[in-house]
């Protein structure tokens, strides 16, 4: 198979653009967060559409306004919150994979109700790995392109494979729906029993609002105050999806760049299959929680993985 080196030029980065992948595995004991995709399902779809392994590096964007120029032809995939984009000024609405050619400029026009979108390219990103990953971790300037967000005029080198198809559409039943509200399934956390009875009822019956100080480390929730028998614990392991309750009574849901230990009660954990839907909620959006058992969480995740696996058959 012939490979070609291309450059992807950042014409405009949008609100926040970084290189991400499946994250750093095996370094939590050294205090290194995993990082990686905020919406693993949408990222996996993008990678599978262009024939890459699901954890391969790609570009992750928050918000609209980004624009990219491709210096040679390649096959790319767009997934996540994007609903409308332009290619050389021509408006397109199909979300999936498509071929682009030398000099093409892609611009994101509308991201609908979601918050995050992905761009994968068929090939290998020629960016230096840090601890086995290209994932950008902004707090310590680790990974990605010099450990920082992408900026105007950046050029990223990719070794691309020839395109096998001009266009691949994602089947309707595989496209996630992002709204201004969501019901997210959770497992009870180790300190869930610290909540008083009224707070247990509030946690599952009331809608929380995504705070405007949310970021890749954690989403702060407002609008409902919970009470617990205590708010401090000896530092314990936390992971993406852990729901912590600080003394303010307003929960924090930890996200991809979260720390590896925390000292607040862990009242719940967002199930893996729903973490992407939760990540897509924008500040001001609303979320409700519903408790499920571990076997349900595993079953839902397996079905999601099966959907992703079906993309390889569509691609052929």
Please report how the helices 40-49 and 294-315 are oriented relative to each other, as an axis angle in degrees rounded to 10.
20
Mean pLDDT by 10 residues, the chain (316 residues): 85 97 96 97 95 96 95 94 93 89 95 92 95 97 97 96 80 84 98 97 98 97 96 93 97 98 97 98 97 98 93 76
Angle, vertex CA 149, rays to CA 145 and CA 150, nearest 5: 70
Which residue, 11, 10, 32, is CA-closest to 19?
10
Domains of the chain, CATH where assigned:
4-176 (no CATH), 181-304 (2.40.100.10)
pLDDT score recorded for residue 316? 65
pLDDT score recorded for residue 1? 61
Cβ-based burial of 201 (10 A; exposed 0-12, middle 13-18, buried ≥19)? exposed
pLDDT tens track for 217-256: 999 999 999 999 999 899 999 999 999 999 999 999 999 9
Q: Which tokens go with 313?
A: 């058959």
The pair phi, psi for residue 125, each rounded to 5°, is: -75, 130
pLDDT score recorded for residue 69? 98
Residue in the block written with tokens 């912590």: 244
CA distance 312 to 165: 13
Alpha helices in the chain (DSSP H): 40-49, 197-205, 275-279, 294-315
Predicted TM-score (pTM) of this structure: 0.95
Q: CB count, 10 Å around CB of 29?
A: 8
pLDDT tens track for 82-123: 989 999 999 998 789 999 999 999 999 998 889 999 999 999
Q: List, in sequence order, every beta strand (DSSP E) within 81-215.
A: 84-87, 90-92, 96-100, 105-110, 116-121, 123-125, 155-160, 167-169, 181-188, 208-210
């Amino acid at each position: 198979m012939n490979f070609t080196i291309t450059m992807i030029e950042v014409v405009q980065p949008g609100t926040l653009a970084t290189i991400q992948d499946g994250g750093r595995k095996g370094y939590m004991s050294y205090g290194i967060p995993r990082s990686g995709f905020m919406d693993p399902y949408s990222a996996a779809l993008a990678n599978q559409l262009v024939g890459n392994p699901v954890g391969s590096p790609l570009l992750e964007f928050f918000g609209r306004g980004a624009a990219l120029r491709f210096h040679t032809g390649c096959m790319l995939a767009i997934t996540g919150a994007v609903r409308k984009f332009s290619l050389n000024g021509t408006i397109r609405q199909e979300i999936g994979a498509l071929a682009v050619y030398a000099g093409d400029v892609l611009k994101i026009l509308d991201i609908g109700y979601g918050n995050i979108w992905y761009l994968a390219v068929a090939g290998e990103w020629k960016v230096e790995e840090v601890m086995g990953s290209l994932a950008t971790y902004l707090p310590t300037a680790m990974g990605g392109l010099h450990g920082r967000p992408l900026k105007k005029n950046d050029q990223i080198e990719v070794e691309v494979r020839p395109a096998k198809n001009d266009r691949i559409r994602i089947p309707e039943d595989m496209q996630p729906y992002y709204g201004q509200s969501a019901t997210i399934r959770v497992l009870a956390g180790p300190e869930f029993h610290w909540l008083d009875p009224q707070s247990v009822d509030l946690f599952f019956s009331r809608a929380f609002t995504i705070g405007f100080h949310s970021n890749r480390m954690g989403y702060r929730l407002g609008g409902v105050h919970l009470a617990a028998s205590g708010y401090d614990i000896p530092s314990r392991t936390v992971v993406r999806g852990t729901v912590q309750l600080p003394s303010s009574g307003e929960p924090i849901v930890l996200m991809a760049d979260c720390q590896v230990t925390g000292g607040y009660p862990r009242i719940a954990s967002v199930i893996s299959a729903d973490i992407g839907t939760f990540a897509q909620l924008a500040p001001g959006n609303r979320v409700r929680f519903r408790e499920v058992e571990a076997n349900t969480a595993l079953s839902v995740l397996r079905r999601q993985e099966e959907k992703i696996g079906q993309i390889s058959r569509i691609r052929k």
